[in-house]
Structure 1
Amino acid sequence: MMILKPQDILVLLKLVAISRNNWSYHSLAIDLGMSAAEVHAAIKRAVFANLAIPQGDKSIPYIRNLQEFIVHGLRFVFIPEHGGIIRGIPTSHAAPPLSSVFLSDGDPPPVWPDSQGLVRGMSFSPLYASAPKAALADPILYELLVLVDAIRGGRARERSFATKELTQRLEAYAQNTKP
């Protein structure tokens, strides 16, 4: 039996972020701060869970199932841990694309803990340990992770908006990757 892990979703989101660009297990590993074996295992689990479809020697995200899992299951499986005030990288409603829609209510913003981060806020555990560094190197991946975090741990309005935005982005990816 294969059990889905949070890094599997990170790998699939990275594949969405790079769209039709060519990739290798090695290049994904470097971009995501993982080993090539971890990336390979993540894709294997995603295929087993029907969240990815094999295509030749590689796989692509199965967008309909990925979207359904993220929207309806992710927050119950990969629950974010909230902590105290810490320096970090904004996420959820405190980062683009949501920060332009949701005004600050005066509470500290949710942040991924990072000593190099420029914002002080409430600790919000990332989907996977290497996600913040990978997100800083890829603005498209960063926005996808922000949307996923809003779905994982946001309020109802934030989850609703993030769901619509993520769905649009995943559908655009599906349209761009059709043969």
Structure 2
Amino acid sequence: MGRKKNSSDFLKECIADALFILLRTKSIESITVREITELANVSRITYYRNFTSKENVIEFKLDKLMTEWIEKQPQKESASAHELSIRFFQFFYSIRDIVQTLIRANLSLLLLNRLILKFNDINTADSSEYYRQIFISFGLCGIILSWMDTGMKESPEEMGRIISRKFFPAPESEL
């Protein structure tokens, strides 16, 4: 079973990588499943067995990247907002090609949706907490997209410092 899962993940990655290559030069609407499968060197059956749409392919790739990043994070409960902010921007810097491709393709809402689903408790019964989490997700997504769209003049570390100081102020001794 493990081998089949690895094979399936590999084929899904090939499909996602092919779609992102095509998105660099074409709109999502003009990309065909045939082009994706030919570039990925997989069958149309493999594509349709794993995905329902091109947007679903993008969601898979974003989920996979975010899940891998979260799993690699140290399980330190005492991490400060400053540390977390820096790690967050380092992650998005590491996938900047993907995010910039989404920006150019006018698909950045897919990134926002994945952020909301991955980093928030959307099932919370506390409506004020739910809206607080949504507010933070929209804000962080907007900052990431603006930072990348303007050429990432600040390093991920500078962005983490800016965000942690402005939105999660701590005593000066901690910064």
Q: Same fold, TM exceeding 0.5?
A: no
Q: Which has the larger radius of gyration?
A: 2
Normalized per residue, the structure richer in strand is 1
TM-score (structure 1 length as normaliser): 0.33
